Amino acid sequence: MAFFNSAVNVLQIIVIALGGALVLWGLVNLAEGYGNDNPGAKSQGIKQAIAGGGVIAIGIMLVPKLTTLFAGVG
């Protein structure tokens, strides 16, 4: 069970890192949209940043629940 718990911890770190990367990518697109006065890039940037925040929230709240979900298995 210790291996599974460590695997869940690694998965949590990966999910949070991917969410952070998506937030940063969205902020870059947002800044590019403001710099070029491009409403399409602004919209895409905002959507990417919010989606990245959602992925981070999933990594923080839901991924650790995997340890309790499979606690009785094995």
pLDDT tens for each residue of 13-72: 999 999 999 999 999 999 999 999 999 999 999 999 999 999 999 999 999 998 888 776
In a domain, 26, yes or no: yes
* pLDDT value, residue 46: 96
Query: Domain limits at 29?
Result: 12-61
Taking phi first (over 0 means left), then psi (-120 to 50 degrees means alpha), and beta for anything else, what does residue 37 get? Answer: left
Eight-state DSSP code of residue 73: -
In a domain, 28, yes or no: yes
- Give how many domains the chain has, as a whole number: 1
In a domain, 51, yes or no: yes
Label residues 13-48 b or e (16+ Cβ within 10 Å = b): eebbeebeebbebbeebbeebeeeeeeebbebbeeb
In a domain, 71, yes or no: no
Compute and round to an integer the Cα radius of gyration of the chain. Answer: 17
